[in-house]
């Protein structure tokens, strides 16, 4: 929400997608990839999100991640 400039209040009242209706909550954990294969992300979550937001606003001017 910070990256988008949205200053409103989020309201979550939907059921989610039909594909995951039976799953009430999801979370990705990259720690296993780090332990097993030594993988680490090259970019922070905030930087990745900012890049995605910029690309959606101006695909020609988005930074390469």
pLDDT in tens, 9-31: 888 776 666 776 677 777 788 89
Which tokens belong to 36? 């097993």
Tell me the whole-structure pTM to 2 decimals: 0.46
Name which residue leads in pLDDT, 45 or 2: 45
Report whether pLDDT(3) > 80: no
- The values of phi and psi at residue 36, to 5°, are -80, -45
Q: Rounded to an integer, what is the distance from CA 31 to the centroid of its chain?
A: 17
List Cβ neighbours of 34 (8 Å cut-off, separation of 6 or more). 40
Q: How far apart are CA 23 and CA 42, in angstroms?
A: 30
Alpha carbon 39 to its chain centroid, in Å, reads 18
């Amino acid at each position: 929400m910070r990256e988008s400039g949205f200053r409103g209040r989020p309201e979550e009242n939907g059921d989610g997608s039909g594909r995951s209706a039976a799953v009430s909550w999801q979370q990705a954990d990259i720690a296993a990839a780090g332990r097993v294969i030594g993988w680490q992300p090259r970019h922070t979550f905030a930087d990745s999100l900012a890049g995605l937001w910029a690309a959606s606003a101006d695909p020609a001017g988005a930074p390469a991640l």
